[in-house]
């Protein structure tokens, strides 16, 4: 079990009020947000939408939704601020982060902030609904059809440590216990396919 899966399992145990299908969608891409609103309404959710952090926090002040779908990067800030506001307003809210900038470091940060899952764009409506509703019955969701490859997981980990070391190759190599030249070759390659 990976770190992210363990964190998702830990968060999915939170009690959830049965019958409440209120959903807040926060995304600055108007076309995508409109499609998501239609899809989620067809799935049985009562949807409100927000374009950015300020709109979302105003909406949360009016009502605390049972579910939320939040984009990580918004025009006026990061979706993690919305996650914090949501978890303060309602402790059993089920939040799914949605982003085009998917990596393991962001996923771990989102889960620690209070999200129950993290999906990379483009995600289908079925994937989003499954992520929002996973754990409602106490069961873990099934594994994804196309999980991230081991090479991609390794590359993501190296990139995260490299960023945490201030993009210092020598310090990163020391912390990862690998030769500096090996690390340089890995950093010069393109990311492996997910």
User: How does pLDDT run across 131-176, given as a tens digit for each residue?
Assistant: 888 765 545 555 667 777 778 778 878 888 888 899 999 999 999 9
pTM of the model: 0.61
Sorted by sequence, the CB contacts under 8 Å of residue 110 that are 6+ apart come out as 72, 80, 83, 97, 118
- The order of strands in the sheet holding 22-26 is 46-50, 22-26, 67-71, 94-99, 117-120
Flag whether pLDDT at 186 surpasses 70.
yes
Is the previous residue joined to 18 through a cis bond, with omega within 30 degrees of 0? no
Q: Tell me the CATH class for 3-133.
A: alpha beta
Quick: pLDDT tens for 42-75.
989 999 998 888 888 888 888 889 999 988 888 8
The CATH number that domain 150-188 falls under is: 1.10.10
Domains of the chain by residue range: 3-133, 150-188
HSE (side-chain half, CA atoms, 13 Å) at 83: 26
Per DSSP, the three-state class of 98 is: strand
136: which 2 tokens?
Answer: 């409602």
């Amino acid at each position: 079990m990976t770190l992210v899966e363990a964190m998702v399992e830990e968060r999915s145990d939170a009690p959830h009020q049965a019958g409440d299908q209120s959903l807040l969608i926060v995304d600055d891409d108007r076309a995508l947000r409109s499609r998501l609103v239609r899809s989620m309404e067809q799935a049985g959710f009562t949807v409100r939408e927000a374009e950015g952090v300020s709109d979302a926090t105003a909406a949360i002040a009016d009502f605390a939704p049972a579910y939320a779908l939040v984009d990580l990067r918004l025009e006026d800030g990061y979706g993690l601020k919305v996650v914090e506001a949501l978890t303060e307003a309602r402790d059993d809210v089920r939040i799914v982060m949605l982003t085009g900038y998917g990596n393991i470091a962001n996923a771990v940060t989102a889960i620690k902030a209070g999200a129950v899952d993290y999906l990379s764009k483009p995600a289908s409506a079925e994937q989003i609904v499954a992520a929002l509703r996973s754990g409602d019955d106490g069961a873990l969701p099934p594994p994804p059809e196309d999980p991230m490859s081991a090479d991609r997981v390794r590359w993501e980990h190296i990139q995260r440590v490299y960023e945490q070391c201030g993009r210092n190759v020598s310090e990163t190599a020391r912390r990862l216990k690998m030769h500096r030249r090996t690390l340089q070759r890995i950093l010069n390659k393109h990311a492996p396919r997910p």
